[in-house]
Amino acid sequence: RKEVEQDPGPFNVPEGATVAFNCTYSNSASQSFFWYRQDCRKEPKLLMSVYSSGNEDGRFTAQLNRASQYISLLIRDSKLSDSATYLCVVNDPSNTGKLIFGQGTTLQVKP
Amino acid sequence: DVKVTQSSRYLVKRTGEKVFLECVQDMDHENMFWYRQDPGLGLRLIYFSYDVKMKEKGDIPEGYSVSREKKERFSLILESASTNQTSMYLCASSPRGRAPDTQYFGPGTRLTVL
């Protein structure tokens, strides 16, 4: 079983749509959770951290369910520029600073 | 802003060559990491270092070694490059002991081994 699992997609949505990505993680001892964004042929960049209470950054909302070991990302009013791969990331509980990356979910927003 | 730089964006080498990939960060981060990224396999950790002269194996260290002589620089070495090491190599850094362990990535080196 993969430590962080995501549906690879691709998700093809029209501009203006709302799209949700989900992710599950296997180690209940993980304490830090993130969504990273990676554009084609570029490096991953932090999109947002995910907090237990849920958090929002403009059109992006992240949720964490520790009991189910489940993380989600909701994008409202999709823009063409949102087209990218979204990586679900959790920390390695060994406290070495290591992160565990999901394989990513690809989003294509079409006009 | 954190800046992580890598010595080359694109590199072409021949089988059997020794290859050095350099990574430099300017934020005084203790932790540094080397990953490779391949289609369908995601990011896989090769080696990491949490201090000068310290190194730890990641998930796929075979065929690689690393060097961390200075805090800001972390080098990945392919002792004898092989075609299955053709990949995108990404370096990252993070501060130690400060949640939430966010890593900052360099732009990547796309290595082709012929």
Residue-wise pLDDT tens digits, A44-88: 999 999 988 889 999 999 999 999 999 999 999 999 999 999 999
CA distances A82 to A8, A37, A87, B54, B92, Å, are 16, 9, 13, 39, 23
Rounded to the nearest integer, the mean pLDDT of chain B is 93
Percent of chain A with pLDDT over 90: 83
Indicate yes or no: CB of B102 within 8 angstroms of CB of A104: no
B101/A46 CB distance under 8 A: no
Report chain A's mean pLDDT, rounded to a whole number: 93
Nearest chain B Cα distance for residue A101, angstroms: 6
Tokens for A39, please give them.
């554009």
Q: Quote the minimal CA–CA distance from B78 to chain A in Å.
A: 21
Q: Which residues of A touch B106 (CB under 8 A)?
A: 43
Amino acid at the residue B67:
S
Q: End-to-end alpha-carbon separation of chain B, Å?
A: 37
Q: Which residue has the tokens 């270092």?
A: B49
Backbone angles phi, psi at A62, to 5 degrees: -115, 140
| pLDDT value at residue B96 | 80
**Which pLDDT tens digit goes with each residue over B61-112?**
999 999 999 999 999 999 999 999 999 999 999 988 665 568 999 999 999 9
